[in-house]
Amino acid sequence: MLDGVWANWFRLWIPSWRFFDEVGSAPKIFFQIRPRGEVTGDSNTIWEPLQDKPGFRAIGLFFNPSGNIYHCRSNLIERLALESQIVQSTELENSTSYLILADWVRSNLKPLAHDSEFEFRFKLTVLTISGDGQAHDTDVLASTWMTA
């Protein structure tokens, strides 16, 4: 993991020239919530997509904080989806990408809490395109239940 850390220090020095160069994995975040302490089976709750995409605002040409942090979060989940392919799950749960995403999902679910205590978990899916051009979402990572 440390190799990746030191790469963070040099990434800016090397210009990036490969915008949208390939079909991305287009990871998506889904979540489940349940009252704290309640134990449910894996199949009892439906996975819902996390609605964290900001809307368009014309002023965004000058001032677009929500759009840019969303862009940053999109890069984060692409990185986490990649890391999930090469790192063991126990190590992954302590990784920076995982911790940031867990807090991101937690902060997005806060408005759903309505003062009640609940637990949540999230999963990541990536886009796979079959030979006939059809797109499918494939699960790559499911978190454990966490307190909100």
Partner 1 sequence: MILFWTQLLAGLACLLQTLEYLALRSYWSNSGPWSAKNLSAEYGRFRALARIGFSQHVLELMIAARFAASIFLLGSFLAPQIVTSLSLAALALSTLYIAVRFRGSFNGGSDSMTFHVLLSCLVASLWPHLALTSVHYITALVVLSYFVGGIVKLRSANWRSGLALKAIFEHSQARHAGLLSLRPLSANSYLLISWLIIGWECLFPAALLNSSLLWFFLISGGVFHFANFLVFGLNRFFWIWLAAYLAVYLSATLRNGNW
Contacts with partner 1 by CB under 8 A lie at 1-2, 4-5, 7-9, 11-24, 26-28, 53-57, 60-65, 67-72, 74-77, 79, 94-96, 99-101, 103-104, 107, 127, 129, 133, 135
Nearest distance from C-beta of residue 61 to partner 1, angstroms? 5
DSSP strand pairing (48-49 vs 118-129): unpaired
Nearest distance from C-beta of residue 88 to partner 1, angstroms? 15
Tokens coding 27: 């990871």
Q: Which residues contact 60 (CB under 8 A, 6 or more apart)?
A: 67
Q: Estimate to the nearest angstrom the gap between the alpha carbon of 137 and the chain centroid.
A: 14
* Cβ-based nearer residue to partner 1, 33 or 60: 60
Nearest distance from C-beta of residue 73 to partner 1, angstroms? 8
Distance between CA atoms of 54 and 40, rounded to whole angstroms? Answer: 32
DSSP strand pairing (28-35 vs 118-129): antiparallel
Nearest distance from C-beta of residue 123 to partner 1, angstroms? 15
* Cβ-based nearer residue to partner 1, 44 or 147: 147
* Cβ-based nearer residue to partner 1, 20 or 39: 20
DSSP strand pairing (118-129 vs 135-142): antiparallel
* Cβ-based nearer residue to partner 1, 36 or 57: 57
How many Å is the Cα radius of gyration of the chain?
A: 17
Nearest distance from C-beta of residue 145 to partner 1, angstroms? 19
* Cβ-based nearer residue to partner 1, 54 or 148: 54
**Residue 37 CB-half CA count within 13 A:** 2
